[in-house]
Chains A and B, each alone.
Chain A
């Protein structure tokens, strides 16, 4: 009983910690959204104007080597958060392999690394994540991913991560990051002045666009992890409560039984003496 009470204390503490952190992560997610949307808007306004050859980040290729980037958590104790990701990741890997493509695997988060190294799936690169990733960190990761795409180490990139809906709901899913899908390519060309030229602007914008996407994905993943932990630890605390109730009842019953039998013994002993 003491053990369970201790566990309950720990789970409750973890719940509180997650609740405190999630606020921060959620604000980050929300404040990163406008930038991401604006970038998208600007990119799509450039799409209309650009007529020359397609930018390397946009160009679709024949896919021989499919890149998969998994964003998992560093720690467990967050319910099905990691296992949901692994399930999706497994299905992607096996479907890519069945199509005859080579899978190049990138992972962020210790859990993902451990899980797949046990399964013997080779890891191309591992990214360490800080508790609350900032833009600079996301940019480093994004740069690595972009470079491997440009250099031909991978021909496409899918990201497996958890989308943040609310503290209670998160959905694990995938998103195709590279080659970039042209956002709103069917738009009519905007009548706009470009300085410098549209092509050169695109050169600078597209990498940034990828960076921002990676950044929002990392943030969403982290917020989701905290949300999942909040729920999991809430459940654990409740379970501990229930278990504690049951055990307390059992304990009282056992004690009562012992007392009763002792009384009977004393009583029958006294009875025997009297006779």
Chain B
């Protein structure tokens, strides 16, 4: 039995993360999924949210888009529309972007646009949260 598992986070644009880790906590569609080495095979849907993992006592936070997670005893593959590492995110930049989006939301008139803006704001909030955890 091994005490580490390989975590791979893959987006359509690139492999965002690939490393041995000790634990993964992923935002499952029906609640958070905690995965330790030797987990039973699992395939689950992920919602947009924060993913947390630990490598050599160091915590790593990521914001990820909706997708899937495939777990085998020694490997975890996360397929996600997008993924950002917390340390790459700049909360000051994000917060100013957030203000712009909120301003746009106040001014916006069409329903479609409103929905889209609300989604963007949620995403920005998520990224801000993750950037602060890093």
Which single residue of chain A is at the shortest CB-CB distance from B18? Answer: A34
Query: Is A272 an interface residue when CB atoms closer than 8 A count as contact?
Result: no
What string of 1s and 0s marks CB contacts (under 8 Å) between A172-210 and chain B? 000000000000000000111111100011001100000
Cα distance, A158 to B27, chains bound together (Å): 37
Smallest beta-carbon distance A156→chain B, Å = 25
- Return the contact of B42 from the options A34, A192, A205 (Cβ within 8 A): A192
Find chain A residues with CB under 8 A from B11 CB: 35
Q: Name the prevailing secondary structure of the A interface residues.
A: helix
Contact (Cβ within 8 A) B45 A42:
no
Which single residue of chain A is at the shortest CB-CB distance from B44? Answer: A195
Contact (Cβ within 8 A) A42 B43:
yes
Contact (Cβ within 8 A) A31 B14:
yes
Cα distance, A71 to B77, chains bound together (Å): 31
Among residues 24 to 74 in chain A, which have CB atoms less than 8 Å away from a CB atom of chain B?
Answer: 28, 31-32, 34-35, 38-39, 41-42, 45-46
Find chain B residues with CB under 8 A from A28 CB: 13
Contact (Cβ within 8 A) B12 A32:
yes
Smallest beta-carbon distance B37→chain A, Å = 16
Among residues 144 to 160 in chain A, which have CB atoms less than 8 Å away from a CB atom of chain B?
Answer: none
Smallest beta-carbon distance A27→chain B, Å = 9
Find chain B residues with CB under 8 A from A204 CB: 45, 68
13 more A-B contacts (CB under 8 A) besides A34-B15, A196-B45?
Answer: A31-B13, A32-B13, A35-B13, A38-B10, A45-B43, A135-B81, A192-B41, A193-B41, A195-B28, A195-B29, A195-B30, A196-B29, A204-B68
**20 A-B pairs in the complex with CB atoms less than 8 angstroms apart:** A31-B15, A34-B15, A35-B13, A42-B79, A45-B70, A134-B13, A135-B81, A190-B41, A192-B41, A192-B43, A193-B42, A195-B30, A195-B33, A195-B45, A196-B30, A196-B44, A201-B68, A204-B45, A205-B68, A215-B12
